[in-house]
Amino acid sequence: MHDMESLEKDIEEIMAAARQYGLDHRDMHFEICPPEVLYSFGAYRMPTRFGHWSFGKAYQRIKTEYDHNLSRMYEMVINTDPCYAFLLQGNTRIQNRLVIAHALAHSDFFKHNAYFARTAPRTVLESMTVAAGRIRNYEQAYGRERVEQFLDAALAVQEHVDYHHSPGTGRRYPAGESASHSKNDVLGFIARFGHGLESWQRDILAVVREESLYFRPQLATKLCNEGWATFWHLKIMHHLELTEEETVDFARMHAQLVQPSRLRVNPYLLGLSIFSDIDRRWGRDTVFEARATCDDPGLLRNYLTEELVRKMDLFVFRRIGYEWRVVEKDWQTVRDTLIQNLFNCGHPYILVETGDFNGRGELYLKHYYEGVELDVHYLEKTLPLVHRLWGRPVHLETVLEEKEMLFSFPGDKVGKRLI
């Protein structure tokens, strides 16, 4: 257990080391949280947010993994100004020292990475609190089940927003603009032009869209952000004077964090490896430049080298018949496959083709196929939810087995046809 007096001294020492290395984090607030509170924050992704059953589901998953010692959430850092870092109650001193160094680097990343420039960190906690209060009022006025069903539909398409527009302002369509124009902000388009939406429903769509825009940079920079934080906690911990026992404990904890996986990319390991390689090849100025300008595809495209791919033994694999097989080890193919998987934060790219299909106000969406098919089961579950939001028949064009297909939901069941 880490006592408060030594914790305060450690925070001061680690902040001094961070400044010495050139990190420029926001003002920091550290709080010690019991596991139930920290996991609740992790499930909601923030200390305060509207309620939804999916957050409870996420909480149970995190708690179950903790109860069975499958994983442990040592801290959580949120993109606010001042920046809040929540430390798990019961952390040892060496665990807290590592996560404090890690949190300071996250705070520096939030402050300086270009993708976070529009996230309104000073007001986000207040705006989420106010929005949660409004949604609770809607539950009392219109019934909890009705509001929850509407939230189910809104959250099903929450990733399909145009994050080049600032949160807090909402997208403004020119007066008199026709609903037949193509848009890349599906949720914003529905909120603006959806048929029969009541004012409280448009407000919920606006809330979901604003929060999705706030979280979007975190999805777009997962590899960069975790790699950056791991790169700096490693340097800061080496800077501190540790006892022999603390050195062993730190090495064990760090090794668990960057342990490679045979089935997926560990963002802590790959991000750390890339920033370390940049530091070795091009120097510290380039390290800070990459932190300020890159999202995950940009970091991979610019700095994942052939030497690093071979050193980390990265490869492409896929299922062939009943077996998973390595199908490609060419470094450029490996790099391009990683980039493709992270494009649009890993979500399919869906655009609004028209909101007046067939001249009857039907919604026509198009999936821009780039070699990866949609999950048909998910598609057929999502179209009825989009219909619930739009209020009229909805259609989605995509490609399956190299054939152009149109899925439609007029209100009773999902159909499909070749086009």
pLDDT tens digit sequence for 239-261? 998 999 999 999 999 999 999 88
| Residues 319-324, mean pLDDT to the nearest whole number | 87
| Residues 155-165, mean pLDDT to the nearest whole number | 86
Mapping DSSP to helix (H, G, I), strand (E, B) and coil, where does residue 348 land? coil
The CB density around residue 196, as the number of other CB atoms within 10 Å, is: 8
Query: In this prediction, what percent of the chain has a pLDDT beyond 70?
Result: 95
Give the sheet arrangement for strand 83-88, strand by strand. 28-33, 83-88, 75-78
Structure tokens at 289: 């430049």
pLDDT at 306: 96
pLDDT at 2: 65
Query: In this prediction, what percent of the chain has a pLDDT beyond 90?
Result: 83
Residue 180 has pLDDT above 60, yes or no: no
pLDDT at 163: 77
For 277-302, b/e burial (b = at least 16 CB within 10 A) is bbeeeeeeeebbebbeebbbbbbbee
| Residues 317-342, mean pLDDT to the nearest whole number | 91
Residue 307 has pLDDT above 90, yes or no: yes
State the pTM of this model: 0.90
Residue 175 has pLDDT above 90, yes or no: no
Residue 89 has pLDDT above 70, yes or no: yes
- Give the model's confidence band at 322: pLDDT under 50 very low, under 70 low, under 90 confident, else very high: confident
Residue 129 has pLDDT above 90, yes or no: yes
pLDDT at 165: 58
pLDDT at 392: 96
| Residues 180-209, mean pLDDT to the nearest whole number | 89
Q: Is the dihedral of CA 378, 379, 383, 384 positive or negative?
A: negative
Residue 121 has pLDDT above 70, yes or no: yes
- Give the model's confidence band at 1: pLDDT under 50 very low, under 70 low, under 90 confident, else very high: low
- Give the model's confidence band at 171: pLDDT under 50 very low, under 70 low, under 90 confident, else very high: very low
- Give the model's confidence band at 115: pLDDT under 50 very low, under 70 low, under 90 confident, else very high: very high
pLDDT at 169: 39
| Residues 151-173, mean pLDDT to the nearest whole number | 73
| Residues 27-54, mean pLDDT to the nearest whole number | 95
> Pick from 402, 406, 417, 405: which is nearest to 364 by CA?
406
Cα distance between residue 186 and residue 365, in whole Å: 8
Q: Is the dihedral of CA 151, 152, 154, 158 positive or negative?
A: positive
Q: Is the dihedral of CA 23, 229, 213, 336 positive or negative?
A: positive
pLDDT tens digit sequence for 43-55? 999 999 999 999 9
| Residues 102-125, mean pLDDT to the nearest whole number | 96
Residue 56 has pLDDT above 60, yes or no: yes
Cα distance between residue 105 and residue 226, in whole Å: 9
Residue 397 has pLDDT above 80, yes or no: yes
